[in-house]
Amino acid sequence: MASTQTDTIDLSKFPVDRIRNFCIIAHIDHGKSTLADRLLEMTGAIVKTQKNKQVLDKLQVERERGITVKAQTASLIYSHQGQQYLLNLIDTPGHVDFSYEVSRSISACQGVLLIVDANQGIQAQTVANFYLAFEAQLAIIPVINKIDLKNADPERVASQIEKVFDIPCNECIRISAKLGTNVEAVLQAVVDRIPPPVASIDDPFKALVFDSNFDHYRGVVANIAVFGGRVRKGDRIVSAYLGKSYEVNELGILRPDEHPTQKLFAGQVGYMVTGMKDVKEAQIGDTLYLKEQPVETLPGFKPAKAMVFAGMFPTDQSDYPGLRSAIERLTLNDSSVTVQRDSSMALGAGWRLGFLGLLHMEVFNQRLEQEYNASVIVTAPTVPYKAVLSSPRLIKNRRGIQKNMVYIDDKRVMMKYLFPLNEIVVDFYDLLKSLSSGYASFDYENAGYQAADLIKMNILLNGQPVEELITIVHRGRAYSAGKAMCERLQDSIPRQMFEIAVQASIGSKVIARETIKAYRKNVLAKCYGGDITRKMKLLKKQAEGKKKMRLIGNVEVPKDAFINVLKRKDK
């Protein structure tokens, strides 16, 4: 909700040299959100929070999974040596699937806090995020977090940082974000080591759209970084991308809740509502300027590249319009998802969606269910890519080719491999974590297409092909992949009143088979005699349970089965 205290903060009191725009980048779970909460508390933007409640993680799925999906912004006011500074903090997600959000956030900043866990040290996304910041020529402040842990070894981590990133050990700030230890030094370093934005109040107004959200009542809320001049409520602005003009209905800063103001000035970061009705109008990377003062556009972003594609279909075709509007709404808030209409004989009308990774896909699906109460069938994710990542073990099974190997210190090694993306996209990350007791980490980037000996494998239930489970497999692995999928389907599909044959086939040749034995489940068995209302209740409950099933031929398949069968269990 928007705050009512319009303009209680006089933003004109913050000339460009007293503004710092920065973000926090790190490997997943190294403590970005915890540090962000501490910074917010220390600068009075929020009152001290209950334990573990992370203010910048707003989405339900973020709180449930303990991960950041969508970057958030907060403006902090910090007093340092008798001066007040406006520090604009942009929180960023840590999981590899969301690195696109990191590069967006970086483009609105002049510096980053690079958090490294004092126990785990440098991990895959620490390296990937470092290079994003380094290539953008941002000031990088290394922060070693979790020094309170029993196994913390900040000195070893500082020397890793010096070795891998060439940043002297003594520049590392050692903190415990959880306990608040030495966090003040982080705020001081933001002021001392990060340069102010290069932006002049005397230039024409020019702003970069670096994120956008959709609000049911006000339309698009764009997050902007002002690179020049000033803008006020009522001004007419133009989107350079579309050439369309809009009136500024509302603007302000985020603390982290919206705090409306009358104006925004050069160097500041805030939000703007202009009556745009579609997030596609607020293109990430677009330049906004005043109608009468055209400017040269700012360099935009590379559009996010979808890596994983899957079909989404309503469980019940009568839910199609509802699901369409839910997908439209959700993609309004996540422009990295690509959507195309799709239809299939078995599943009816639906869509083909592109995601940044499997976690991204699962989060999207979870949000559809939680926020829009939608019931969806997701088909097998498909990919045509290769990836570069680190770690042995698993490698041979997944057709990996080693590219190089660098020792980070005497205990850690960073390895690069070339993989077919379909070998790693579903469960590789989980498996790598469990095989290495959580020590190994990985990151990947697209290495282009390459020819391979692949074939299409079908899965049949009582002779009926299951479209959702058509997979592309390597010829040499077809037999074992088909057998494993049949076994997992056998575990995932409950027994029904008739026998079910689960088969994998290539063309017309069946290569694997499992059987699910017949079984009769009579929900009324426990209702002896008369109570008809109780019987009705049970039948209703059973009918609701069935809604979560997908009927293939006459076989009922639980929705979860489609994703569960794809997760392999390598030994």
Task: Report the interface residues with ligand GTP, using CB under 6 A.
Answer: 26, 28-34, 66-68, 93-94, 145-146, 148-149, 176-178
Integer Cα distance of 132 and 365 in angstroms: 29
Question: Is the Cβ of residue 46 or residue 272 nearer to ligand GTP in the bound state?
Answer: 46
Binding site annotation covers 459? no
Count Cβ atoms below 10 Å from residue 79 Cβ, excluding itself.
Answer: 11
Question: Quick one: 262 exposed, middle or buried, by C-beta within 10 A (0-12, 13-18, 19+)?
Answer: middle
Tokens 């997944």 label which residue?
A: 398
Minimum distance from CB of 280 to ligand GTP (Å)? Answer: 27
CB 149 within 8 A of CB 119: yes
Question: Is the Cβ of residue 37 or residue 468 nearer to ligand GTP in the bound state?
Answer: 37
Binding site annotation covers 27? yes
Question: Is the Cβ of residue 63 or residue 456 nearer to ligand GTP in the bound state?
Answer: 63
- Please give the C-alpha separations between residue 247 and each of 7, 11, 239, 243, 336, in angstroms, as whole numbers: 20, 21, 11, 14, 27
Cα atoms in the Cβ-side hemisphere of radius 13 Å centred on 471: 26
Max CA distance (Å), the chain: 86
Binding site annotation covers 159? no
Question: Is the Cβ of residue 33 or residue 223 nearer to ligand GTP in the bound state?
Answer: 33
Binding site annotation covers 148? yes
Question: Is the Cβ of residue 34 or residue 365 nearer to ligand GTP in the bound state?
Answer: 34
Binding site annotation covers 360? no
Integer Cα distance of 469 and 466 in angstroms: 6
Binding site annotation covers 93? yes
Integer Cα distance of 482 and 503 in angstroms: 8
Integer Cα distance of 299 and 286 in angstroms: 9
Binding site annotation covers 233? no
Smallest Cα–Cα separation from 424: which of 404, 449, 443?
A: 443
Binding site annotation covers 26? yes
Question: Is the Cβ of residue 104 or residue 146 nearer to ligand GTP in the bound state?
Answer: 146
Minimum distance from CB of 38 to ligand GTP (Å)? Answer: 9
CB 430 within 8 A of CB 443: no
Alpha-helical (H) ranges within 60-177 are 60-65, 99-106, 124-135, 154-165
Minimum distance from CB of 146 to ligand GTP (Å)? Answer: 4
Minimum distance from CB of 67 to ligand GTP (Å)? Answer: 3
Residue with smallest beta-carbon separation from ligand GTP: 94
Binding site annotation covers 29? yes
Minimum distance from CB of 432 to ligand GTP (Å)? Answer: 17
Minimum distance from CB of 94 to ligand GTP (Å)? Answer: 2
Cβ neighbours of residue 433 closer than 8 Å, sequence gap 6 or more: 440, 441
Question: Is the Cβ of residue 33 or residue 105 nearer to ligand GTP in the bound state?
Answer: 33
Minimum distance from CB of 51 to ligand GTP (Å)? Answer: 8
Known binding site for GTP: residues? Answer: 26-33, 91-95, 145-148
Binding-site residue numbers are 26-33, 91-95, 145-148
